Amino acid sequence: MCNKKELWLPVKGWEGFYEVSNLGNIRSVARYTDHKMIYGQILSKRVNAKRFNYEEIILKATGKKRVNKKVHRVVAEAFLLNPNQLPQVNHIDFNVNNNAVENLEWVTAKENSNHSRHRRPDMRGKNGRMVVAFNKDGVCVGEYGSIRDAGRSLGCHGQNISSILSGKGRYANGYTFRDKV
């Protein structure tokens, strides 16, 4: 999970305006328009608490209508083939904020429902829920056998780490966390 190379592809329907990475980041493309330069930058994601805490971004461009998009869906449309035209994108590790391409898959509504019904059957280590910690630059700083171990090692409260894993928070003491798959 640590030290992955970030690859970029155009966002489907927004080619020339936005690109998406295999790690779940979205950026605007630098371009020259109306006699001025628009510089590219990584877009800020927002967590939508009303929609199961999925990360969303806003796409807008001259001559196009402003659109809210779920990040996991943008990643899947760019990187994952969908020959059977399956309608939903599933987070394999149950973490809706882990939008890396290897954590996503196209599924039917029934498959998605069945997946969450048996939630986290093998996500626990010997002492608890296994987690991976990252600094604000996205660099992996360690893997831990439990939330308690991660908290003790990094000086964070376990409750804050749990909030991040459930999508209700972003950082604890300068770190973010994901379930170890």
pLDDT in tens, 104-158: 999 999 998 887 766 554 555 555 788 999 998 889 999 998 898 899 999 999 8
The CATH number assigned to the domain holding 139 equals 1.10.10.10
| Predicted pLDDT at 119 | 59
Amino acid type, 10:
P
Residue at a domain's end among 117, 146, 164: 117
Residue 85 has pLDDT above 70, yes or no: yes
Q: 135 and 107 share a domain?
A: no
Q: Tokens 């630098």 appear where?
A: 30
What range does the domain containing 92 cover? 8-117
Domain count, the chain: 2
What 3-state DSSP class applies to 117?
Answer: helix
Residue at a domain's end among 117, 145, 166: 117
Q: 144 and 98 share a domain?
A: no
Is residue 2, in this structure, part of any structural domain at all? no
Reported pTM: 0.63
Is residue 122, in this structure, part of any structural domain at all? no
Residue 158 CA, chain-centre distance (Å), reads 21
